[in-house]
Structure 1
Amino acid sequence: MSDTPVDLDELRQRIDQLDGDILRLISERADCAQKVAHVKLAQDKDAVFYRPEREAQVLRRIMALNQGPLDSEEMARLFREIMSACLALEQPVKVAYLGPEGTFTQQAALKHFGGSAISLPMAAIDEVFREVEAGAVNYGVVPVENSTEGVVNHTLDTFMDSSIHICGEVVLRIHHHLLISDTTRRDKISRIYSHPQSFGQCRKWLDAHYPHAERVPVSSNAEAAKLVKTEWHSAAIAGDMAAKLYGLERIADKIEDRPDNSTRFLIIGNQQVPMAGDDKTSVVVAMRNLPGALHDLLEPFHRHKIDLTRIETRPSRSGVWNYVFFIDFKGHADEPRVAAVLEEVRLRASELRVLGSYPQGVL
C-alpha cells in the first residue's frame, strides 16, 4: 500500500472535519424544518406536514445531483432517513401496515417513510383501510401485487368499498430465507410455515430440497417465524426483518425461484396528492355489459398515447358476471391530456372512480 501513517492521519483528520460539517448542516436542516412547521401552523392549524410529491421531488433531485462514489439509490436512502428525522420534529407520521411486526409490509413502510415514522401493525388489510379512514393514522401501507404470484385481490376488493386515496407506491425486492430456531433439529424438519404467496414464490426450491415436508400456510411470514420458536421439527420462510426480530438462524438464503422477485405496495391516505412531475394514476372502472366494452375502455388511452402499466379484472359486486377494471397508467389526473382521457372513459363507463394520482416510486 502506498499510504503512509502520516497520510492516514491526514485522511482521518479530514474525515473528522467533514463529519463536523455534516453534523452542522443536518442540524441546520432540522432547524429549517421546524421553522417550516411553525409557518404552516400559523397559516392552518390543520396543516399537513408530510407532502408525498415534495418528498419525491427532493429524492429525485438528490439522485440526479449525485456524482458518486455512493450509488444514487444509497444516497437517496440516506436522505430519506434525514428527511424522516426532520419530519418527526414537525410531527411524527403515523403509519398502519399489514402486520404483525417483521412482515415485508412493515419493511416497505420503513423504506418509504424512514425509521422515524411511527408504524402500527394491523391484523388485516381492511383494518389498515379503517384506521386511515378514521383518521387514527396518517397513512397505511398495503401490498397490491407480486412479480411472481400476481395481484393481491383482497387489496383491490377493499378499494371498491372505500373512499380512501392512493398517495404513493413503493417496490420492495423480496428475498426469502429458510429459518430455524436454536432448538430445531435440522435433519428432522417435517413442517414448513409461511404465507401462501411465499410458498408460491419458493415452490421450485421447496420441491427440490423439502419435497416431503408439510407446507402450512399462515397469515404472514412473521407469524411463521414466531411459530418456529415453539417447535423442534419445523422451519419458516421469511425475510431478514423477521429473522432478526425473532432471533432465528438462516440455513438457506434467497430461496425464491426468481431473483427479481418483487412486491409493490401502495401508500393510502385521506388526501389527494398534487403533481410531482413523474406520476402515476390508478382508477377503477365499471363497464356496461356490452360487446366491445373492453375495447371502448382502452381506446382513448391508446389514442392519447397514455402508457398503461397495469390492468386487472375483478368481479363486480353489483351483479353476476359483471366485472370492474383496475387500471394504472403514467400521468397525473390534473394533466390536461389525462383529464381528457378520463372524461371520455367516464362517458363510456357506468362508473369511474379515480383512486389516486401519486408520485412513481423513487426507491
Structure 2
Amino acid sequence: MKQTLDPLALYIHWPFCVSKCPYCDFNSHVRESVDQQAWRDALLADLAHEAALTSRRQLGSIFFGGGTPSLMPPETVAALLDSAERHWGFAPDIEITLEANPSSVEAARFADIASAGVNRVSLGLQALDDQALHFLGRAHDVAEGLGALDTAQNAFGRVSFDLIYARPGQSLADWDAELARALSFGTSHLSLYQLTIEPGTRFATLVAQGKLPVVDPDHGADLFEQTRTQTAQAGLPAYEISNHARAGEESRHNLTYWRYGDYVGVGPGAHGRRGGLATFRRKKPENWMTAIARNGQGIEEETPLAHVDRATEALLMGLRLAEGVDLDRIARMSGVNIADLTKPHAVALLQRQGFVEQSGSHLRVTDTGMPVLDRILAEVVA
C-alpha cells in the first residue's frame, strides 16, 4: 500500500535535437541516427532503478524535456508512461507534459502522443517574427509554428508555449505587439524568457567577438515590467519570474521544483532530489548508455545534501515564486533553525525599500523586487 506522502514528480530527458540553437546551453545533442529500441530500453531501465527506491510514492506529474522529446516515437512515450504507472501509480489528476518543437513533422505526432497519455504540451515557438526566428536558429517559421499551435490546442487539454524577448533591436512597441498577439491565441500558460547569453553557446562566442550586441539592462528591465503588466491585464499574471498562467493553470511539475518537493530524473544529464539526496546522471548520451549497460542505471553522482544546502536550495527556488516561501516549512524540512535561514538586517532593509514583504514566517519578493531578484537572493539568503 502507498504511504500517505506528497506525490513525486518524474522528469524524463530526451537529449536529441535536429540542430543546436545558438542560445541553448541545455544538455542537447545532434546525432545522425538514433537506435530507438535501444533508447527505449535504456530509459525504461533507468526509470525502473528510480522506481525501486521510491515506489511508495504516487506520481503527481511527469515532464518529458530535452533536447526535443517530440522527436521520440509515440510508442516510446507510451511505454514509459505505462511503466511509470505500473511502478508508482498515478495521482488522479496527474499532469503529463511533453516539450515540443512547433514543426509540422512533429505536430503530425501530437494526436498519437496525446493517445499515449500526455495531457499537456509546451511548444517552443520562441518568436512570432520570421526574422527573429532565423536569428534564434529556429527551423520553423511563424506560419508553421502557428499551425503546430492550432494542432496542439486540438490534441491536448492544456497548452503552453515559450517566447524569447529582449532580443537585439527589439523595442517596447515591438514586444507589445508580439506579446499581444501571443495572448490572443487563448492558451492558459506562457513562458516568457529574456534572452540571456549563456557560456559555451554560439551567442556567447559572437558576443566575445563583438558581433552580437548585448541588450542594455535598463531596456531589459522596461521590457520585463511591460511583460508583467500586459500578462496580468490579460488574466495570466506571473506566478514565477518567467512563467504566467490563468488561475489553476500553473505548471504543477515546475511548482514541485520551486516549492522544493521531491522529484526523480532519468535520462542523460537529468537531476533529481529524493530523500535528501541529489542525483545527477551522465550528460553525454553515449556515456549514459554505457552506464545503463554496465550498471542498469545512468547515475554519475548521488550526494547527500547537507541541511544548510537543502535550506539554501529551497530559498533560492521558492523566492522565484510570486507566492514566496514559508520559512517555518523550510526549517522543518531542512533541519536548519529558522533564525539561520535569512539575514534579518538585509530583509528588514529590503522590506523598507519595498523589494520584499515578510509576515510572520512568510517571505516573498514583491513586484518591485522581481526585476532585481538575483541581487535580492544574494542579500537575503544566509
Q: Give the TM-score, by structure 2 length.
A: 0.25
Structure with larger Rg: 1
Q: Which has the higher contact order (CA 8 A, sep 6+)?
A: 1
